Every structure is written in C-alpha cells, then in structure tokens.
Amino acid sequence: MKIAKFTLLALALGVGLSACDTVDSLKVWRKAKPEPCPRVTVLRNAAELTKFKPGPGRDLIDVLFEAKVTNVYSTCEYDVDYDTRAGSIHAQVAPVILGKRGPADTSRLAEIEYFVAMVDEQKNILQKSVFPLKLAFPGNLVQNEVRDEPIDLTLTTDGSKDGTAYEIYVGFQLSEEEMAYNERLRQR
C-alpha cells in the first residue's frame, strides 16, 4: 500500500514538473522568436545630396561633392512584459553613405548632415534627430563609403502595437535649393 501511494505521488510530481517544463519551454521559444522591427526607409527625395561651391554656378565643374545613402543597417530589441506586451522597443540604425569628390573640391572633406526620424502609422513624427558626418577623401581617393555609428531609438508601447506600427526614415537634411535640384534630376 505504501509503495502504491509513493508511486502515485511520484507520478503526480513528475506530471506537474513536466508541465512546468513545458511552460518554461514556451517562454523560451517565445523569447527566441524574433519580434517585428520597425521598417526602415531611405526617403527617395532625400537619399542623394549634391553640394556646389558658393556662387551661382551649378555646372559639373561647380560640384564640391555628391553623397548618397546606399544602405541602412538596423536591428531592434524588445523589453516588454511577457503577458501584456507593454514596455519598450529599442531600435538601432546605422546608415551607410557613399561620397564622391567633385571637381571644385579643394578640402578633401565632405561635411554633410543626415536625419533619422521615427513615425507612426499616420506618418506623425514621433522622434527626429539630425546628425553631422564628415567624409574624408585621403590620398588619391575620389570616393569613400562609411557606415556611421549606430543611432538608438526607443519607443514605449502599451502592448497594443508592435514594431510593424512604426517606420524609421533616413535621408539627408537638405535645403530647399538642394531638394529642388534633386527634383530636377529626377524629372530628366
């Protein structure tokens, strides 16, 4: 009789422990499953920059440098409550920018500014920052490509939305004249 009770107790304990193991495995699986990151978009009308030397000239010989956002590396990580999904979404972006020296350049240095902006589903800007970047052309280099340092963005979520509800825009911080120049090039 004692052996039967002991066997029954061991069996119940084993089933209970295996159920805990299943719940723990489910939590590990859910954490290991990648969460959706915000989409990263390089804005077409702000993806390229042509900088001219001061003055009225806008010919090829007046170009100081040209720059283009060629890629953006990105990642994200969730810090949310397992049950409610409330917490924070941490995203990182690192733009890759290609610069080309123009005939008018004498400094062998291109100083540019680019922006990173986070928007929601209605395209409302939630965060926007502008970052300076210096592209050097040492020696005989006429072009140089650099990946800037990662930029951190953090979103707070109540759990009703995930990363797919947001988008990250990257582009050059352009003047009105530079935007008009890009538009003229596109129309050709």
Domain residues for the domain of 28 are 1-33
Task: Report residue 179 as tokens.
Answer: 């935007």
131 shares a domain with 75: yes
CB 151, CB 129: distance < 8 Å = yes
Q: Are residues 68 and 119 in the same domain?
A: yes
Q: How buried is residue 80: exposed, middle or buried, by Cβ count under 10 Å (0-12/13-18/19+)? A: middle
pLDDT in tens, the chain (188 residues): 555 554 444 445 454 544 455 445 445 545 556 789 999 999 999 999 999 999 998 899 999 999 999 999 999 999 999 899 999 999 999 999 999 999 999 999 999 999 999 999 999 999 999 999 999 999 989 999 999 999 999 999 999 999 999 999 999 999 999 999 999 888 87
25 and 50 together in one domain? no
Regarding whether 46 and 20 lie in a shared domain, the answer is no
Q: Helices H, strands E: what count in the chain?
A: 2, 9
Whether residues 48 and 29 fall in one domain:
no
User: What is residue 34's predicted lDDT score, i.e. its pLDDT?
Assistant: 73
What is the per-residue pLDDT for 17?
Answer: 47
Residue 104 and residue 57 in one domain: yes
What is the value of pTM for the model shown? 0.80
Same domain, 18 and 65: no
Are 98 and 145 within one domain? yes
Question: Within this chain, do residues 103 and 128 fall inside the same structural domain, yes or no?
Answer: yes
Indicate whether 120 and 89 sit together in one domain.
Answer: yes
Q: Are residues 29 and 40 in the same domain?
A: no
Please, what is the end-to-end C-alpha distance for the chain in angstroms? Answer: 94
Look at the chain and report how many structural domains it folds into: 2
CATH of the domain at 136: 2.60.40
